Amino acid sequence: MNRANDEDLFPESFLWGASTSAYQVEGSPLADGAGPSIWHRFVRTPGRVFGGQTGDVACDHYNRYREDVALMKELGLTTYRFSISWSRVLPEGTGRVNERGLDFYRRLVDELLAAGIAPNATLYHWDLPAALDDRGGWLNRDVADWFAEYGEVVFRALDDRVTMWATLNEPWVVTDGGYLHGPLAPGHKNLWEAPRATHNLLRAHARAVAAYRAAGRNRIGLVVNLEPKYAASDSPEDAAAVARADAYMNRQYLDPVFFGTYPQELIDGFGEAWPEFPASDLDEIKAPIDFLGINYYKRGITRADDSVIVERATRLDNDRATVTETGWEVFPEGLTNILTWTRDRYGDVPIYITENGAAFYDPPVAFNGRVEDPLRVDYLREHLRAVRAAMQQGVDVRGYYVWSLLDNFEWALGYAKRFGIIHVDYGTLQRTPKSSARYYAEVIKARKVL
Ligand code: IFM
């Protein structure tokens, strides 16, 4: 093999995976003694979710996980990223442990290991126990200890078999969607609450990491969604808007974790709504992590706009670009850019792309049993190239997870947007790998972008 080919190859140790989250795929949210989560309530609040749809059945992964693991094996995945439902394990959020809830994850992990697939578990993917929301949820400082208690329970049950843990998935979305603008559970719109939620998410993350250092033997990290910001023009106003938008979205969580400080633009953006947090909290938040998970979907073309709260910036559309069904510009080079930016700003932390993917309109399953999704194939190809380009520039990327394994419940958009590489018929729950799944399997086999 010549040298050029060698350079195209992903390392043998590179992990190839797919991601899901509990509420989006499992279904059976109250089965076997589980307590309700804030999403169980939110979907029952009129007007919140497209078509009044719920995660009550979702992909029925709770019952069909064996079939799903078999499909992962068939595709050659070497890892699977899933999240654990806090209220299955602790129905009231703290205190009483529901062993039957934990058993589901024990069975899932065993099935994965038997298939040679490494489990990667996230503790929190947006489904706070409703009982804790009743006690103030992410606004109550005690949530940090509640979260550490939950972490200890699952570490004890699964750390002998789960070798990669993440504390939070996309804390930015939890605050932005759940507390500032309100389209996601618990649906608040409150400038004063948002910084408190952010801070408590970070404190909870840090306490869970500390609990893991005491009891765990593998690796724990954080998963953030990042979006490179580009100025809409050369004006100084737009350059300043980029700095604010970047602070709000990309640095809000990473600066505290890596530097123990919040970005000044963020503090200024919240103005009098920004509380003074104890310095000791930030010392705690700065605890080292073993890896960083990055979810990448799009970039932000940014224009100064004083009518927008906090960021005082607005996002412009690129009319010339290919956009996905969720209206997101397809912009693969943004992934290379955000990876080099992360390395340059925060140093050499091992990175996993923990989510990347796209919703496109998929035709129905054809008479020959196939689902052709050429746009998603292109999307994967170009984004994998972008990952490889960052690696060639020295970024320590160790794995890639496509979002998502299955078409699933896309939060406030219900089942209207399909992100899966495996098609799910929501009537019969039948799974059909799309052509993107077959393409991904070929890439995994070849260890290079095809
Ligand atoms: O479906 C979501 C997921 O829950 C978090 N990251 C983005 C995905 C697509 O919107």
10-residue mean pLDDT series, the chain (450 residues): 69 98 99 98 98 98 99 98 99 98 98 98 99 99 99 98 98 98 98 98 99 98 98 98 98 98 98 98 98 98 98 95 96 98 97 99 92 98 98 98 98 98 98 98 98
Q: CA-CA distance, 196 to 219, in Å (whole number)?
A: 28
At residue 5, the pLDDT reads 64
Catalytic, out of 26, 111, 170, 193: 170
Q: Please tell me whether residue 343 adopts helix, strand or coil conformation.
A: helix
Atom of ligand 1 nearest to the CA of 225: 6
Q: CA-CA distance, 148 to 141, in Å (whole number)?
A: 12
At residue 7, the pLDDT reads 82
Residues near ligand 1 (Cβ within 6 A): 21, 24, 170, 295, 355, 403, 410, 419
At residue 3, the pLDDT reads 47
| Domain boundaries defined on the chain | 10-446
Q: CA-CA distance, 376 to 436, in Å (whole number)?
A: 6
Name the closest-CA residue to atom 2, ligand 1: 410
Candidate of 410, 413, 424 to mutate for ligand 1, largest count of ligand atoms within 8 Å of Cβ: 410
DSSP of 333-401: HHHHHHHHHHHHHH-S--EEEEE-------PPPPTTS-B--HHHHHHHHHHHHHHHHHHHTT--EEEEE
Distance of CA 410 from the midpoint of ligand 1 (Å): 7
* Active site (annotated) includes residue 170: yes
Atom of ligand 1 nearest to the CA of 357: 9
Name the closest-CA residue to atom 9, ligand 1: 410
In Å, how far are 11, 138, 153, 166, 342 from 260, measured between CA atoms? 33, 20, 28, 19, 16
Pick the CATH number of 10-446 from 3.20.20.80, 3.30.750.24, 3.10.20.740, 3.80.30.20: 3.20.20.80
* Active site (annotated) includes residue 193: no
Catalytic, out of 111, 227, 311, 355: 355
Distance of CA 146 from the midpoint of ligand 1 (Å): 25
